[in-house]
Amino acid sequence: MRAAIGGAAALLFGASAVFVQAYPVKPVRIVVPFAPGGGTDILTRIMLPRLAELLKQQLIVDNRPGAGSQIGSDIVAKAPADGYTVLMVDTAFMTNPSLYSKLPYHSERDFAPVSLAATAPVIMIVHPSVPVRTVKELVALARAQPGALNFASGGPGSSTHLGVELLKYVAKIDLVHIPYKGTGPAVADVLGGQVTMMFAGISSVKQHVETGRLRAIAVTGAKRSPAMPRVPTFGESGMKEVDASSYWGALAPARTPQDAVNRLAATMAQVLKMADVRDKLIELGFEPIGGGPPEFAALLAKETDKWAKVIKAAGVKLD
């Protein structure tokens, strides 16, 4: 897998002056394979005005939700490889190859990595009645009472589900999965004490942690979150392998001219450095990155391989 994606990313990042001046000459469609209002849609729309300004072209967001992002992804996989159709993805693009027996596209061969746009940590929280305050204490309790602790998620195969499966895989503990139809109901039942714990986006639980209705144990990622600086990382807690952070990036159809890919990547990187864009994204819990094709290709390979092992160990399938 690394060889396949890495090979696609090995092309030079520089662009010819002639093509850079010529591209784009018409509107660019950005396909978001989720409904409006979700993280991928919000990230895309925050970048949109500045991208349009620098590219000097209209950018059109096309929301195509369904089948865990497969519908929108398939549209882009089969679109003309001319630089005028772009796909914004999140971590679901990296977990889908293992969650589904068959996809309508090939996640390696049918796409060209463009930009690693942003990441965001997830936080592990427990109900205050649970007698643990650290990852070490939680693992010890779970080992002492196998199968006695449960966790909520926003649904099977979701990031809130697979994050805990990663913890189970790394720590070799037994926790019972209680799936819900969305993060909101899951958080509500952890708040009510019906469920022990969950992984969640910081924005969805921050106020409850601050008021003491939930207890934060650890956050994923290489460093502490500016949104909750007092909460240690899993790395600080002795489990750096538990990195269930979410990632977002842009892909183009395979065989899209490399000059077009490079122009898009360089423009996205420039936009993600702009103070107004960065400040808004950070406020919402995103960490802007702006990595180019090689960086995104490496991330895709690493995350897809990591989640394949976790999903296989957990026996999760969505079809």
pLDDT surpassing 60 at residue 8 = no
Number of structural domains (the chain) is 2
Domain identity same for 105 and 253: yes
The pTM score is: 0.85
* 233 in a structural domain: no
- As a 3-state breakdown, the chain gives helix, strand, coil percent values, each rounded to 5, of 45, 20, 40
Domain identity same for 96 and 162: no
pLDDT surpassing 60 at residue 293 = yes
**Span 40-74, pLDDT tens digits:** 999 999 999 999 999 999 999 999 999 989 999 99
Rounded CA-CA distance 82/252 in Å is 9
Task: Please report the pLDDT score of residue 9 as a whole number.
Answer: 46
Mean of all residue pLDDT scores within the chain: 92
Q: Domain of 165?
A: 136-219
pLDDT surpassing 50 at residue 177 = yes
pLDDT surpassing 90 at residue 283 = no
What CATH number should be reported for the domain holding residue 159? 3.40.190.10
DSSP 174: -
What CATH number should be reported for the domain holding residue 310? 3.40.190.150
Domain identity same for 111 and 169: no
Domain identity same for 23 and 160: no
* 234 in a structural domain: no
Record the tokens describing residue 40, joined without a space.
Answer: 């991928």
pLDDT surpassing 80 at residue 10 = no
**Three-state DSSP class for 286?**
coil
Of 219, 253, 274, the one marking the end of a domain is 219
Question: Which residues make beta-bridge pairs with 63?
Answer: 32
Sign for the pseudo-dihedral over CA of 170, 171, 172, 177: negative
* 194 in a structural domain: yes
Could you give the percent of the chain with pLDDT greater than 90? Answer: 83
204-230 mean pLDDT: 92
Task: Please report the pLDDT score of residue 227 as a whole number.
Answer: 85
Domain identity same for 17 and 108: yes
Question: Which residues make beta-bridge pairs with 126?
Answer: 197, 215
Helix (H) or strand (E) holding 85: strand 85-89
Domain identity same for 183 and 113: no
